[in-house]
Amino acid sequence: PYQFEGVKYLWRTSSLGLGTCLADDMGLGKTLQVLALLQLWQQRGVLQGLPVLLVLPATLLANWKNESERFTPGLKIAILHNSVMDSESWQRFKHCPEKYLSQFDLVLVTYGMLPRLPQLSGLCFPAVIADEAQAIKNPAAKQSKAVRGLQGRVHIALTGTPVENRLTDLWSIFAFVNPGLLGDLRFFLDYSKRLNADYTPLRKLTQPFILRRLKTDKRIISDLPDKTELKVYCSLSKRQAALYQHCVEQMQQALQDESEGIRRQGIVLAYLMRFKQICNHPGQFLGDGDYTPAAGGKFLRLGELVESISSRQEKLLLFTQFRELTEPVHDYLQGCFGCPGLILHGGTPVKARAGLVSAFQADSGPPFFVLSLKAAGTGLNLTAASHVIHFDRWWNPAVENQASDRAFRIGQKRNVLVHKFICRGTLEEKIDALIMDKQHLADELLNEGAEKLLTQMTNAELLDFVKLDIHQME
């Protein structure tokens, strides 16, 4: 019923020429609702001439194509991407874009390809849809400008996380769906400061244009099992502790040598990355290829956890933000499970991704899947897993939650356990506190007190943030 209501809402607002943001929680079927809307448009004669243009991450190309073939086989779809178009099709498109595109009902283009296709900005489509619209949250980014430059009678944004970190995330989405509603960026920043953490006026202004349902609300969907999040605390090995402390001392010296400006910001970000690598495993930080499990507290804790998962013949997803860690973790898990698993990261060919998902979803498929957070954190349906492990923590709660929702989706018949690894006594505990603060911001707006960015901390605050707390390590 909630999906039917969603389609009615999209039909009603689009008929009035209003842009909207479908912000249903991950797994509630935003793709299906949009496909139903497109089929309705097709039946009512809305789709004449140019097709609907859908902008999306490359990872989701196969997902949209497969879902359309399954639920709306009557829609004619084209994909503007190097991986699927032959040279003849490209020439036809470049020679006469309008004539080429008019053969189709829906055209898919990735955020990465869009800036390289200026022909699209000169056309006016029946509708322009941005999937995973958090991809345009940075107003100054090239792909954000390219999306805002597209012309459509109606603009629709799809995202489970309309606010990730800051109120400007919301402004960026509305600059696409209803340009001018929230004023220009300078006006909005000034306006949001005057709100003084009371978001009621902003909520009243944006509410008519946002439809958001949460899958944790049993009134929306009653057959989805519960998701339980667990914090898994790990101890540093002696080698990790020594490397970590040495890195703290190096950072202290570097900050004394560079007091302000862009160089200081770069130093801070570089050292934060080093601390994260040390927490994962000394081998990652040193780059020596030595991933002896005993040298890394997380590897030891992972082995203990997997022993229990394997004994129950359950499947797991493991997310890391570091591509270089996917293979060492896979090799370690292969030893734990006694069989190989799967890997997906930014270098995995787009064509191969759907096959990996299908293999994992099969009952007889591999028991584990190692994925890089940014490449695989959105869109994929991996409900065969009943465990999700975040091997390292991201700065952004929305990104982590999206990744967890690869398993916690409609069709999931098992309870999902989300294990978040945290090294005691390190900056990872502080990151966890930051994540909780950011989650509060998103929850407050959608039912800025802006966090103090790490690069804006004083030297004393930074060193207190990253220091090794010996008393918390055990």
- In the predicted structure, residue 63 carries a pLDDT above the cut 80: no
Angle between helices 30-43 and 61-71 (to 10 degrees): 50
Asked if 2-211 and 227-473 have one fold, the answer is yes
What are 208-235's pLDDT values in tens digits? Answer: 899 998 866 777 766 666 778 888 888 8
pLDDT band at 449 (very low <50, low <70, confident <90, very high): very low
**Helix/strand/coil percent split, the chain, to 5:** 50, 15, 35
What's the residue count for the chain?
474
Q: What is the dihedral of CA 163, 165, 171, 172, to 10 degrees?
A: -90
> Which of 239 and 465 is assigned the larger pLDDT?
239
- In the predicted structure, residue 471 carries a pLDDT above the cut 60: no
pLDDT at 25: 81
pLDDT at 68: 92
pLDDT band at 470 (very low <50, low <70, confident <90, very high): low
Longest CA span, the chain: 69
**Which residues pair with residue 21 across a beta bridge?**
157, 210
Q: What is the mean pLDDT of residues 367-383?
A: 86
> Which of 82 and 254 is assigned the larger pLDDT?
254
What are 344-361's pLDDT values in tens digits? Answer: 999 999 889 989 999 999
Against a cut of 0.85, is the pTM above it?
no
DSSP element (H, E) containing 156? strand 155-158
Task: Check if the beta carbon of residue 234 is closer than 8 Å to that of residue 298.
Answer: yes
Domain spanning 227-473: which CATH class is it, in words? alpha beta
Q: What is the mean pLDDT of residues 36-42?
A: 95
Rounded to whole angstroms, the Cα distance separating 460 from 171 reads: 34
Rounded to whole angstroms, the Cα distance separating 228 from 395 reads: 20
Of the listed ranges 1-15, 61-75, 244-258, 394-408, the least confidently predicted one is 394-408
What are 141-199's pLDDT values in tens digits? Answer: 899 999 999 999 999 999 987 877 778 888 899 999 999 898 888 898 888 787 766 77
Residue 387 has what DSSP assignment?
E
pLDDT at 451: 31
Of the listed ranges 121-130, 132-141, 240-249, the least confidently predicted one is 132-141
pLDDT at 438: 65
Q: What six digits make up the tokens of 290?
A: 């030595």
Of 93, 117, 106, the C-alpha closest to 156 is 106
Task: Check if the beta carbon of residue 401 is closer than 8 Å to that of residue 373.
Answer: no
In CATH terms, the superfamily for domain 2-211 is: Tandem AAA-ATPase domain (3.40.50.10810)
DSSP 408-423: SSTT--S-EEEEEEEE
Tell me the Ramachandran region of residue 367: left when phi exceeds 0, alpha when psi lies from -120 to 50, beta otherwise: alpha
Rg of the Cα trace of the chain?
Answer: 23
- In the predicted structure, residue 323 carries a pLDDT above the cut 80: yes
CA distances from 86 to 68, 92, 278 (A): 22, 10, 45
**Which residues pair with residue 134 across a beta bridge?**
none
pLDDT at 153: 93
Those residues with Cβ within 8 angstroms of residue 42's Cβ, 6 or more apart along the chain or in another chain: 74, 75, 105
What are 251-302's pLDDT values in tens digits? Answer: 999 988 776 778 888 888 899 899 999 999 999 999 999 999 999 999 998 9
- In the predicted structure, residue 448 carries a pLDDT above the cut 50: no
Rounded to whole angstroms, the Cα distance separating 236 from 244 reads: 9
Rounded to whole angstroms, the Cα distance separating 47 from 40 reads: 9
Taking the domains of the chain in order of start, what are their residue ranges? 2-211, 227-473
Neighbours of 444 (CB within 10 A): 15
pLDDT at 290: 93
Q: What is the mean pLDDT of residues 47-62?
A: 87
Percentage, residues of the chain above pLDDT 70? 92
Neighbours of 256 (CB within 10 A): 9
pLDDT at 474: 46
